[in-house]
Amino acid sequence: MSQGSNFVDYVKICCRSGKGGSGSAHLHRDIRTSTGGPDGGDGGRGGHIILRGNSQFWTLLHLKYRKHIIAPDGLPGSSGTSTGKSGKDEILDVPLGTIAKDAETGEVIFEITQDGETKILTAGGRGGLGNWHFKTPTLQTPRFAQPGEAGKEEWMVLELKVLADVGLVGFPNAGKSTLLSVLSAAKPEIADYPFTTLVPNLGIVSYRDSKSFVMADIPGIIEGASKGKGLGFRFLRHIERNSVLLFMVPADTERSIQQEYEILKAELQDYNSELMQKPHLLAITKSDMLDEELVAEMKKELPANIPAIFISSVAQKNLVELKDMLWTAINS
């Protein structure tokens, strides 16, 4: 099974939390007491459905075929003011960068970004109060208790935004997959046609002195992606979580490097202007065929105010220097 079929960044699930246990209406009785007061305990709360961040997970694949997530009910209270046992929480491990949304309204409920972080997706019903809560000076032996609160049943959407240090941004065939495969142990599908990369590929790039950083090859965007054209929104979503954006423009582009960079930048600006606040770097790829004179000419036309470097993944040209630039940008 290819990584493409293993990578799932969207699931829709039906969550049913547990019902709260009912309170007890018990009256105290023992050998010496035939008309004791109320001692009915509270019901236990129903089980929650909880999301927990797990840094070992990269995909939502494990939830793809679990359409219904059901947490058990709380148990009723009993005599001696004993509280019923709460329903067991249903805990779902999810990758960091998972967003929970209400499936009907599309409203974002929360986001999981830390390993071990837990948040309640669907809360269980509260347990009912036992009759001892209702004792008053004028009502010494209440013979009623509160029923447990019903659980909730709701459809939720979980979406994943890939968390990486460096996001590769470029049109299809800019050489992103090739760079990732050369710099890391990732094995993305590589071919010379648009949209080879249909899912984000992640690779860990080794750096000096046993350091490393995570690089994500995000599927190529095309003009109009911010309006949902082509593979659009689904992929731009993954760029939001990267801390540094490496724009990649091939040396043999039909447009000027400046034009291509501006188009890419405009797509990101239209989608989310906050992406403009991230550090941007520019790599001119496939530059192994350029001589020094041509490189010098092309440098004059590069966009201002963005660190740029000419690289070739195939010829291993300037890759160490590129890693230095990226490491500096990540840690600046």
Structure tokens, 239 = 């760029």
Check whether 220 is labelled as a binding-site residue: yes
Beta bridge partners of 78: 82
Q: Is residue 135 annotated as involved in ligand binding?
A: no
What distances in angstroms separate CA 97 from CA 86, 218, 242, 286, 304, one per listed residue? Answer: 30, 15, 10, 32, 33
DSSP string across 94-105: E-TTEEEEETTT
The answer to the question of whether 263 is labelled as a binding residue is no
314 labelled binding-site residue: yes
Known binding residue 287? Answer is yes
Known binding residue 22? Answer is no
Q: Which residues contact 139 (CB under 8 A, 6 or more apart)?
A: none
Helix (H) or strand (E) holding 206: strand 201-206
Q: How many residues does the chain have?
A: 332
Cβ contact 202:162 at 8 Å: yes
| Residue 160, beta-bridge partner list | 98
Q: Is 197 annotated as a binding residue?
A: yes
Q: Helices 319-330 and 176-183, interaxial angle, to 10°?
A: 90
Check the annotation: does 94 bind a ligand. Answer: no
Find out whether 181 is annotated in a ligand binding site: no
Annotated binding residue 195: yes
Is 324 assigned to a binding site?
A: no
174 is in an annotated binding site: yes
328 is in an annotated binding site: no
Please tell me the distance from the alpha carbon of residue 110 to that of residue 261, in angstroms, as a whole number. Answer: 33
Q: Is 173 annotated as a binding residue?
A: yes
Q: Is 219 annotated in some ligand binding site?
A: yes
Q: Is 303 annotated as a binding residue?
A: no
172 is in an annotated binding site: yes
Other Cβ atoms within 10 Å of 290 Cβ, number: 18
Is 218 among the annotated ligand-binding positions? yes
Contact 60, 161 (CB under 8 A): no
Binding site as annotated, residues for Mg(2+): 177, 197
Binding site as annotated, residues for GTP: 170-177, 195-199, 217-220, 285-288, 312-314
Binding site as annotated, residues: 170-177, 195-199, 217-220, 285-288, 312-314
